[in-house]
Structure 1
């Protein structure tokens, strides 16, 4: 598709084609590959993935970056633009499209399998759009909207800018990065004139990077957590929930644990940290080990594999497979459906963080160690009151104000004239 250089494209009605895919290989040295429309590996992405892996980035990071690159490559393929010839015009149009376009509605994998086999896939057209961002009546959290979130767009811009910076330094990409830095910062070193008495500013911002609003971490109030816990049906799910909310571990960190990582005598659970990849033992509540023991006894009697180096968490039905993040998320979605809520697995980590950070007898540095935060400032966000507490206290404030307005004025002290005080303070007699 021909396009005049420098002129904005007409993106009205543009739909991102589903060319190519991100393929998980399961291999240690090349966990993910980006394939083009012909199924050929995209070599510039493969080289960058090797660089990221050499820098210590885990496979989950490569997967996250790969989805952003796939979106960008599909945009270029739709307009027949080579990745090395992409200019700031393409980057600008891509940023405009992500800001204004609706997120694509993916076809379910069962329908895709039927279509690939030549069978008719039963579905209704057109498919419904994602719901608007209306707050959930139980949790108060908005549902995902039909547009790309600001965090998604900011992450994508950072990934693409870093990708082109790497190839520009290697001499394998364009001389000018299609995703430049902000005009006010592109020619200056970050924090070049920093005042040592003031905190450092954030990272250097890209020109097409959106402003990301600061979100208040959501914790699950105790009453709602009890309802969520009661909505779970199996020992395994309750053991997982109790372990997440007491250790503060990330969902993936706990799910990758082995059977010998649990030490009930010491009340410790060993996890491998997401960033450092180091093993760390985290204290857990006694009830978490009670539910874990009930689950293990039930699972081993049913035939779940047993061994020190085997996974701690398994599927509930044969064939036995280690529990994955997506399966654990589906478990929580079922409990949410029964309650009409939309809690996430990460909300459990927020809940544990709030409980520990707001305990006056627990040092904040200890909470930082448990959560695995690199900076204490990250842990300090949990010192502030949660959103539910803020709303409750502000409602109480309004109730007190209404009560005060309904009260009659206090009688004046002895020796003062009520009429004179009304004139002095401008009140009606």
Structure 2
């Protein structure tokens, strides 16, 4: 069977994915699936209906032996799993063989949150109010105010903004709405006033560069690192660190793990627990305070000495 027999369903899947997922996700999945298709063709797979868990395990094992990082390996598996789900919906497969393969264990290397007072001083540092400075301030405030991922921030269009919230497309193409704080709303208003001096005509992106087009991931990372140096923040700053600071600071104030989970867009509560480094003492204290069978009661008066 010609190569196009395997390629066509993948192309259709990616085109459907592009209608609701971020460009970065689509590009990553395209690379992951192309890698797997090359492996499958070399292994002699002639139709996706013959895809099985053994082939998936062999592929992931080969990628691991090539030195692929656990995070990249997990993304490979996620791309394959979503593609297999699409094949099931189309009646090509009766089950998802990727679900029978274990997910790679992820290292728990989490960034340390920036100190609240230190971060406040950094964000409150005056700037020259140029269009680029207004843009950078709006990005900083929005990242910290709403806990956005880098890809979510970069993919924002103008129509995603509402007066008190912003609509984003998270991992797996899942939409969510997150609040925009007062300081972030003020910074966004200043940027929207200046944006016309940079943005090309008809450009839908919320954040643009000097050439008027959407600002890329790397450009955003470099701007944050540069601003940290310019404003005297004595540590490296990147988008994920602001997201982690958002989660940690909010959790410290509210102790509402479920709310933080929703705001971060985590599918599972366990992800939020790891992300915010909740410790056992905090969970135990919450349990003791809330569970009716855990609360300590005053001991009844002793009957000793009663006549």
User: For this structure pair, what is the TM-score category when the shorter chain's length is used for normalisation?
Assistant: 0.5 to 0.7
- SS of the residue corresponding to residue 270 of structure 1 reads strand
- SS of the residue corresponding to residue 253 of structure 2 reads coil
In structure 1, the residue matched to 2:29 is: 65
Contact 1:219 1:348 in 2 (8 A): no
- Structural mapping, 1:1-40, within 5 Å: none
- Structural mapping, 1:251-266, within 5 Å: 251-255=150-154, 256-258=156-158, 261=161, 263=163
Quick one: distance in 1 between partners of 2:185 and 2:88? 52
TM-fit CA distance, 1:356? 0.2
* 1:130-173 per-position Cα deviation (integer Å, ceiling 9, x unaligned): xxxxxxxxxxxxxxxxx311132233234335545754786657
Quick one: distance in 2 between partners of 1:211 and 1:75? 19
* 1:187-235 per-position Cα deviation (integer Å, ceiling 9, x unaligned): xxxxxxxxxxxxxxxxx551xx4541352542432277579767x9833
Larger Rg: 1
Contact 2:221 2:239 in 1 (8 A): yes
**Residues 65, 83 of structure 1: alpha-carbon distance in 2 compared, 3 angstrom cutoff:** farther
- Structural mapping, 1:11-410, within 5 Å: 42-49=7-14, 58=21, 60=23, 61-76=25-40, 79=42, 81-84=44-47, 91=56, 93-101=58-66, 147-160=67-80, 163-164=83-84, 167=87, 172=92, 205-206=100-101, 209=102, 211-213=104-106, 215=108, 217-222=110-115, 225=119, 234-255=133-154, 256-258=156-158, 261=161, 263=163, 268-274=164-170, 275-277=173-175, 280=177, 282-286=179-183, 288-300=184-196, 302=197, 304=199, 311-315=205-209, 317-318=210-211, 320-332=212-224, 334=226, 343-360=237-254, 363-381=256-274, 384=277
- TM-score norm. by structure 1 comes to 0.47
Quick one: distance in 2 between partners of 1:370 and 1:259? 20
Quick one: distance in 2 between partners of 1:48 and 1:273? 18
TM-fit CA distance, 1:69? 0.9
Superposition RMSD in Å: 4.6
**Residues 218, 91 of structure 1: alpha-carbon distance in 2 compared, 3 angstrom cutoff:** same
* 1:361-416 per-position Cα deviation (integer Å, ceiling 9, x unaligned): x6444434433445555444455359xxxxxxxxxxxxxxxxxxxxxxxxxxxxxx
Structure scoring higher RCO (CA < 8 A, sep ≥ 6) equals: 2
In structure 1, the residue matched to 2:299 is: none
**Residues 83, 295 of structure 1: alpha-carbon distance in 2 compared, 3 angstrom cutoff:** same
The structure with the largest helix share of the pair is: 2
**Residues 345, 205 of structure 1: alpha-carbon distance in 2 compared, 3 angstrom cutoff:** farther
Quick one: distance in 2 between partners of 1:95 and 1:367? 33
- TM-score norm. by structure 2 comes to 0.62
Structure 1 gaps, min length 5: 1-35, 102-146, 182-203, 387-429
Matched residues, number: 263
